[in-house]
Amino acid sequence: MKYKIERTNKFIKQYAKILNKKEFKEEEFIKVLSILANNEVLPVKYKNHLLNPKNKRNMGMSYTK
């Protein structure tokens, strides 16, 4: 299942702020965003984790706290 990415006003504002940071790599961000949009599992490098710890869902997580 492929998700559609919609840019909200909050996203646009936060994205504009982070573009000015030296460590931000736009190519990496687009790569990760496309992985998430295609409902694929993130590589270990990105430390995939659930945002809600009470959620029992299994996403093939490679990183847990």
pTM of the model: 0.63
- Burial (CB count within 10 angstroms: exposed 0-12, middle 13-18, buried 19+), residue 4: exposed
CB 36 within 8 A of CB 3: yes
Domain that holds residue 53: 1-65
Residue 57 pLDDT level (bands cut at 50, 70, 90): low
Question: What local confidence, expressed as pLDDT, does residue 6 receive?
Answer: 87
pLDDT per residue over 1-17, tens digit each?
A: 688 888 899 989 999 99
pLDDT at 46 over 90: no
- What is the count of structural domains for the chain? 1
Question: What local confidence, expressed as pLDDT, does residue 58 receive?
Answer: 54
- Counting Cα atoms < 13 Å in the Cβ hemisphere of 51 gives 0
